[in-house]
Amino acid sequence: MTPAATGQAEAARRRASARNGWLLSAPALLILTLFACGPLLIVLVYSFLTPGQYGNVVGEFSPDGWIGVLYSRDIFDDTLVLADAHLTIFWRSVKLSLMTTLITFALGFPTAWFIATRPPKARAMWLFLITIPFWTNLLIRTFAINEVIRNDGIINSLLIWAGLIDQPLRMIYTDGAVLAGMAYVYLPLMVLPLFAAIDRFDMRLLEASYDLYASRWACLRRVILPIVRPGIVAGSILVFVPSLGAYVTPRVLGGGKNMMIGNFIELQFTQGRNWPLGAALSILLLVVVALALILYVRAAEGGESEGRHG
């Protein structure tokens, strides 16, 4: 067989292999298209329709759903004014999500380092303890935090019993309560990726940096953090994304006033009866999450390339 014929036969085999791969994955792709993209397409269509009088939508095109994301209509002259409440909710959601990510990193990095430097048997036990909270429903864990920080909860009862305060401290139904609850709930999602990255870290690099008279801070900043950056980015995304769309924790610990964007979306579909606005907010949240994932992929690729060339 000539080289040209051999090349043509090899190309034909590759095309057949690619075609068979697409045929095998066609059922899964069809299911994903129908049950993942389909509902999102419906939500997108709803965002451009007119709200019904008692909920649902009317089949008339209207951009009011998207306009209502940033503006609201005056009840007297129907003019558009900036929706300060909406912007406050957006800012609170982003702020608390970022603060949750920073707090879980500050607590999770030392924890992951401690676990990764233990003997294998002890390491398995510590990882087991980290995963135990996942065995309990999120709502139950949130109510457990509620029992700790409410006015007659454990913290206030201990402080009053010790004579440190006369009146209970107001901790519940505040941004601080929501922050504490989300940090507690999502901390394992930060610890596990960090542990996976630190577990692959070559400890001989630390010895080499100490031999070159590097300080502990220099070792952390210029050796450890650049190498484990993919784990840091992965943990940050795993915490930031669910925190941004959190519903249960802000609802239980924040009350009705300290809501986040997830609670605001639910409010539009229930009491507000403004489904187009709720749909527009849902699509907006999806776009923000997608942008965060794109940044994650780029940061992770940058960390891997630095690790290969470093």
For residue 101, give the CATH number of its domain. Answer: 1.10.3720.10
User: Does position 280 have pLDDT exceeding 60, yes or no?
Assistant: yes
pLDDT grade, residue 221 (50/70/90)?
confident
User: Does position 309 have pLDDT exceeding 60, yes or no?
Assistant: no
Q: Kindly state whether residue 207 falls inside one of the protein's structural domains.
A: yes
Tokens of 4: 């040209």
Strands, E assignment, the chain: 49-51, 57-61, 71-73, 80-82
pLDDT of 151 reads 87
How far is Cα 61 from Cα 218, in angstroms, rounded to an integer?
A: 59
Of the two residues 304 and 270, the one the predictor is more confident about is 270
Tokens of 1: 């067989």
102 and 221 assigned to the same domain: yes
Q: Kindly state whether residue 48 falls inside one of the protein's structural domains.
A: no
Q: Kindly state whether residue 69 falls inside one of the protein's structural domains.
A: no
How far is Cα 51 from Cα 22, in angstroms, rounded to an integer?
A: 41
HSE at residue 182, side-chain half, CA atoms within 13 A, is: 34
pLDDT of 305 reads 57
How far is Cα 240 from Cα 238, in angstroms, rounded to an integer?
A: 6
108 and 213 assigned to the same domain: yes
Q: Across residues 238-242, what is the average pLDDT?
A: 91
Q: Which of 92, 52, 234 is nearest to 177 (CA)?
A: 92
pLDDT of 300 reads 65
188 and 271 assigned to the same domain: yes
Tokens of 83: 């929706």
Reported as a single tens digit per residue, the pLDDT across 129-182 is: 988 888 888 889 999 999 999 888 899 999 999 888 888 888 888 899 999 999
Q: Residue 174 forms beta bridges with which residues?
A: none
CA 34 vs CA 24, 40, 98, 156: distances in Å? 17, 10, 33, 51
3 and 130 assigned to the same domain: no
Cα 149 to its chain centre, rounded Å, is 24
Q: Which of 241, 221, 240, 233 is nearest to 194 (CA)?
A: 233
pLDDT grade, residue 189 (50/70/90)?
very high
141 and 262 assigned to the same domain: yes
Q: Residue 53 forms beta bridges with which residues?
A: 55
Q: Kindly state whether residue 116 falls inside one of the protein's structural domains.
A: yes
Q: Kindly state whether residue 199 falls inside one of the protein's structural domains.
A: yes
Reported as a single tens digit per residue, the pLDDT across 48-94 is: 999 888 878 888 899 989 998 988 877 777 788 888 888 899 999 99
276 and 205 assigned to the same domain: yes
Count of domains forming the chain? 2
Q: Kindly state whether residue 74 falls inside one of the protein's structural domains.
A: no
27 and 89 assigned to the same domain: no
Q: Residue 80 forms beta bridges with which residues?
A: 73
Q: Kindly state whether residue 57 falls inside one of the protein's structural domains.
A: no
Q: Across residues 239-266, what is the average pLDDT?
A: 89
How far is Cα 53 from Cα 116, in angstroms, rounded to an integer?
A: 58
272 and 141 assigned to the same domain: yes
Of the two residues 33 and 107, the one the predictor is more confident about is 107
pLDDT of 2 reads 67
Q: Average pLDDT over the chain, rounded to whole?
A: 86
- Name residues whose C-beta falls within 8 Å of residue 193's C-beta, 6 or more positions apart in sequence: 231, 232, 234, 235, 238
pLDDT of 4 reads 67
pLDDT of 22 reads 81
114 and 258 assigned to the same domain: yes
Q: For tokens 């609802």, what's the residue?
A: 251
Contact in structure between 276 and 232 (CB atoms under 8 Å): no
121 and 229 assigned to the same domain: yes
238 and 105 assigned to the same domain: yes
- Name residues whose C-beta falls within 8 Å of residue 279's C-beta, 6 or more positions apart in sequence: 43, 44, 46, 47, 65
Share of the chain above pLDDT 90, in %: 30
Can you give the residue range of the structural domain that contains 12?
1-40
pLDDT of 115 reads 92
Q: Kindly state whether residue 60 falls inside one of the protein's structural domains.
A: no
184 and 266 assigned to the same domain: yes
